[in-house]
Amino acid sequence: MAAPFRRGMRIAADLRSKLTPSLTEFHSSFGKYTRNPHSKKSSVVRSRLTFSFPDLPTFTLPQINITRRHYSTKAERKCWKCGNNVDNKEQLFFCKCGVVQSIKEVDYFELMGIPESFDIDLTSLTQRYRDLQRQLHPDKYTLKSEVEKQIAEEQSSYVNTAYFSLLKPLPRAHYLLERRGAPIEEENTAVDQQFLMEVMEVNEDIMDADTPDALQPIQVSNNGNINKCVSQISKAFHDDDIEKAKEWTMKLKYYSNINDKITNIYQEHFGA
């Protein structure tokens, strides 16, 4: 009995020596997932696992879906003056002691107190902007320390950036795409050639227009295209179709440039 037992132990040890390195390698590679640090939504990682062990047949498991939930956490802050804890939600800019605080980067939607969405309440956004700017207005800090003046100025600038990034559809779409880890990089973003030809034709029509009456139908048509883009971007984000959102955001950029060009011509040549 002893000989077969020892032979069985040797076989088991030999298998362990072959399997263990590959299992270690498998666990290491399985753990290498990437995620968008800005996204607060759950994401589904689709993966197909292949096991390859030395001297053994290779086999592959069916595709699996792994739901991964992302949580947003913020480091605890302390007031730079009194040392007390500062509530990141209730005391974003000010400690209970009344001193203005320096904040770590907060996303624009949270800062402006609105849900993260392409479709936003512009009235609420503007009201929040005005409230924050009143709180951070330089006149309130004329008798404060230089540190408080500097912090208030930095915060006011950050509020401005957040407000104007969300105010209009184009920068808002760009910001949402960045937060989803899919920023538009023009050199790597394909645009339909037929669409580009249409844009070139519109630009030629603008150059040929020599009166306000000639420009008006071009502007009306372009405004319709802008509205269509905004509607399609809204739908794409609602459906979580990031590629479609990128496609329509690129088109919106071209139409917005056309609108800017028409506006400049009105101002420079027709005094409007």
Please state, in angstroms and rounded to a whole number, the distance separating the CA atoms of residues 240 and 20.
Answer: 41
Per the domain annotation, does 50 fall within a domain?
no
Copy the structure tokens of residue 144: 């404060």
Please state, in angstroms and rounded to a whole number, the distance separating the CA atoms of residues 16 and 14.
Answer: 5
CATH classification of the domain holding 151 = 1.10.287.110
Query: What per-residue confidence (pLDDT) applies to 22?
Result: 39
Please state, in angstroms and rounded to a whole number, the distance separating the CA atoms of residues 78 and 95.
Answer: 9
- Enter the pTM of the model: 0.68
Structurally, the chain folds into a number of domains equal to 2
Per the domain annotation, does 29 fall within a domain?
no
Query: What per-residue confidence (pLDDT) applies to 34?
Result: 38
Query: What per-residue confidence (pLDDT) applies to 98?
Result: 85
CATH classification of the domain holding 207 = 1.20.1280.20
Per the domain annotation, does 46 fall within a domain?
no
Query: What per-residue confidence (pLDDT) applies to 72?
Result: 39
Q: Which domain holds residue 144?
A: 80-167
Per the domain annotation, does 17 fall within a domain?
no
Copy the structure tokens of residue 266: 């009105």
3-state secondary structure of 64: strand
Copy the structure tokens of residue 66: 């792994």
Q: Give yes or no: residues 139 and 190 share one domain.
A: no
Q: Give yes or no: residues 194 and 222 share one domain.
A: yes
Q: Give yes or no: residues 95 and 122 share one domain.
A: yes
Selection from 80, 78, 48, 44 nearest residue 61 by Cα: 48
Query: What per-residue confidence (pLDDT) applies to 101?
Result: 84
- Whole-angstrom distance between the N-terminal and C-terminal Cα of the chain? 104
Q: Give yes or no: residues 194 and 245 share one domain.
A: yes
Per the domain annotation, does 27 fall within a domain?
no
Per the domain annotation, does 163 fall within a domain?
yes
Residue ranges in the chain whose pLDDT is less than 50: 1-2, 4-5, 8-9, 11-13, 15-73
Per the domain annotation, does 220 fall within a domain?
yes
Per the domain annotation, does 113 fall within a domain?
yes
